[in-house]
Amino acid sequence: MLRNETQDTRPLCILVGTCISFGIQYLLLQSDEFKKTYRMKAYRTHRNQKIMSDFNISDEELNEASVFIYHPPGWADWGNDEGYRELLRRIPDHVQKISYPYPVFHALWPLHAHEKRLEDPSREAGFGQSDAIYAYGDSFVLSQMRQGLSTEEIIRRYLDLNIPDIVDVDGILKRSIDTQIAKEESTDVKIIDFVVDNFKTKRTFVTMNHVGNVSLIHMTNQMLQMMGFAPLPDSLHDSLFEMIDPQMPIHSSVIKHFGLTFVTPDTRYRIDPRRNLTFSEYLTHYIEFR
Amino acid sequence: MDKSMERENVSTLLLEVMQSVFFDPGITIDDETVAEDVNGWDSLSHVRLLLAIEKKFSITIGPLEADRLKNVGELIDLIQKKMAG
C-alpha cells in the first residue's frame, strides 16, 4: 500500500443537486464544525444530464448517511421524476433530510430564449471556451439575425432598445417571485425573501437559474443552522470569486428599470473561465457564436 | 373574450402570442408541438409566454399550473378550461 489509509469514521452527508450544489458543497466545507462532523459525498447534475440515470445511490450508502441534502422532486427536469421520488422514499428515518430550492429568477434577463445553434453537431467550442453561456439565448438578437442584419446593426439596435417597452418586466418579476414562493412551500431552506430584499443591490443571481455567492451563502447558512452549526463568517463573501459561472450580462435598460446598483452598463461579466466581457462585447461574441 | 371560444380559435390566437413573444413569425404549432419544436421556447422562457397568454386570453395561470404541460395541445386545453372558468 503506497499511502496510509485510515478509516474515516465521520458520518456521511449526501448532497444531491443541480450545478448550484457545487457552491453549496464548497461552502459547507468552509464550516469547521461541519467538516469535523461529516464527510461529504456529492451527486450533481449538469446541463443535459438526467439525475436518475447518472445517480446510483445504494441503500448501503443511504444507511451510512446522517444528513441528506436535496432538491424536492419536480423542481427541475430530472428525467425520471418517479425514480427520484423512489430514491427519496428509500432514505432511512434516522437520516436528517434538508430540502433546498433550485431558484429561478427571470426578471433580469427577460428576453431569454432557447438557443438552437447549440444543437448543431458540427459545432465545436474553441479552446478554453464554454458552451454554457450560450445556453442563454436572446429572443431579440435571434430575431434580428433571422432578418439577416449585420452584427454591428444588431448591436446598435439592441443597445438602443428599452426592453421594458416591449416586455412586461415587472410582470416577469412578479411571476418569478410568485413561482418561487409557491415552490418554496416544499423546501426547508428558503431564498425568495432574501432575493426580493437584495436583488437590486447584490448579485443574487448570475444567470436566471444560477444563484450568486450571496444567495449560496444564505442557503448554506440555513443548512448549517439546521444541523446545529454556526453560520459562515461574514468575511467569507469578500474572499470569494463568484463560484458559479457563466455570469449572464444584464441589458442597460433592465439595470435602469430596476435601479440595480451592483452593475453598470460597463460591468464585465465572467462568461467563461477565459472571457470577462461587457454587455456589448458579449453581444458580439454571442451573435458570432464564438 | 368569448368564454366558449372554439379550440381552433384558441390555437390561432396562441400561435399569434408565440410568434410575438419569440419575435418569430415563422413559428407553427399543432397539438403535438413541444417546446423543443419552437424557436426560443424552453422552460426558462416559459414565464414570458405565460404572461402574454394571460394578457391575450384574460385569464390567470397559477405559478405552478403550467409546469407539467406536455405539449401545445395541453396548453390549449388549459386555456380553454380557464376561459370557461
Q: What is the pLDDT of residues B38-64, one digit of tens each?
A: 888 888 888 999 999 999 999 999 888
Q: Does A112 touch chain B (CB under 8 A)?
A: yes
Q: Which residue is closest to A143 within chain B, CA to CA? A: B23
Q: Which residue is closest to A139 within chain B, CA to CA? A: B22
Beta partners for A210? A207
CATH, domain A12-104+210-239, list 1.10.3470, 3.90.320, 3.40.50, 1.20.120: 3.40.50
Beta partners for A269? A277
Peptide bond just before A101 cis, omega within 30 deg: no
Look at residue B70 in the predicted model and tell me its pLDDT: 84
Cell 418561487 -> residue: A180
Q: Does A73 touch chain B (CB under 8 A)?
A: no
Residue B73 counted as domain residue: yes
Q: Does B50 touch chain A (CB under 8 A)?
A: yes
Look at residue A290 in the predicted model and tell me its pLDDT: 83
Cell 454591428 -> residue: A152
Which of A144, A151, A187 shows the shortest CA–CA distance to A287? A151
Residue B46 counted as domain residue: yes
CATH number of the domain at B74, please: 1.10.1200.10
User: Which alpha helices (DSSP H) does chain A contain, by range?
Assistant: 21-28, 32-37, 51-54, 59-64, 81-89, 139-146, 151-160, 163-166, 169-183, 192-198, 213-226, 252-258, 279-288
- The shortest C-alpha distance from A110 to chain B (Å) reads 7
| Cα B58 from Cα A14, distance rounded (Å) | 46
Instruction: List Cβ neighbours of B81 (8 Å cut-off, separation of 6 or more).
Output: none
Residue B34 counted as domain residue: yes
Look at residue B50 in the predicted model and tell me its pLDDT: 93
Q: Does B1 touch chain A (CB under 8 A)?
A: no
- Chain A residues in contact with B45 (beta carbon < 8 A): 112-114, 139
Q: Which residue is closest to A177 within chain B, CA to CA? A: B63
Q: Which residue is closest to B61 within chain A, CA to CA? A: A175
- Chain B residues in contact with A170 (beta carbon < 8 A): none
Longest CA–CA separation in chain B, Å = 32
CB contact under 8 A, B26 and A77: no
| Residue range of the domain that includes B77 | 7-84
Q: Which residue is closest to A208 within chain B, CA to CA? A: B44
Residue B2 counted as domain residue: no
Residue B62 counted as domain residue: yes
**A5's grid cell:** 489509509
CB contact under 8 A, A183 and B26: no
Q: Does A172 touch chain B (CB under 8 A)?
A: yes
Helix, strand counts (H, E) of chain B:
3, 0
- Chain B residues in contact with A142 (beta carbon < 8 A): 23-24, 39-40
- The shortest C-alpha distance from A101 to chain B (Å) reads 14
| Cα B14 from Cα B26, distance rounded (Å) | 14
- Chain B residues in contact with A137 (beta carbon < 8 A): 40
**Dihedral sign, Cα of residue A70, residue A74, residue A75, residue A79:** positive
Task: Provide the 8-state DSSP code for A15.
Answer: E
> Within the 207-226 window of chain A, which residues sit less than 8 Å (CB to CB) from chain B?
208-209
pLDDT at B1 over 90: no
Radius of gyration for the alpha carbons in chain B, expressed in angstroms and rounded: 12
Residue B43 counted as domain residue: yes
| Cα A36 from Cα B77, distance rounded (Å) | 55
Best mutation site among B17, B37, B44 for testing chain A: the one with the most A CBs within 10 Å?
Answer: B44
B65 contacts A179 by C-beta, under 8 angstroms: no
Indicate the number of domains in chain B: 1
Domain coordinates in residue numbering, chain A: 12-104+210-239, 105-209+244-290
CB contact under 8 A, A142 and B23: yes
Look at residue A35 in the predicted model and tell me its pLDDT: 97
For this complex, say whether ipTM is above 0.90: no
Best mutation site among A139, A142, A184 for testing chain B: the one with the most B CBs within 10 Å?
Answer: A139
CB contact under 8 A, A179 and B47: yes
Q: Does B45 touch chain A (CB under 8 A)?
A: yes
CB contact under 8 A, B45 and A114: yes
Beta partners for A138? A112
Look at residue A117 in the predicted model and tell me its pLDDT: 80
Residues of chain A with confidence (pLDDT) below 50: 1
Could you give the C-alpha distances from A132 to A153, A273, A286, in angstroms and in order? 25, 11, 12
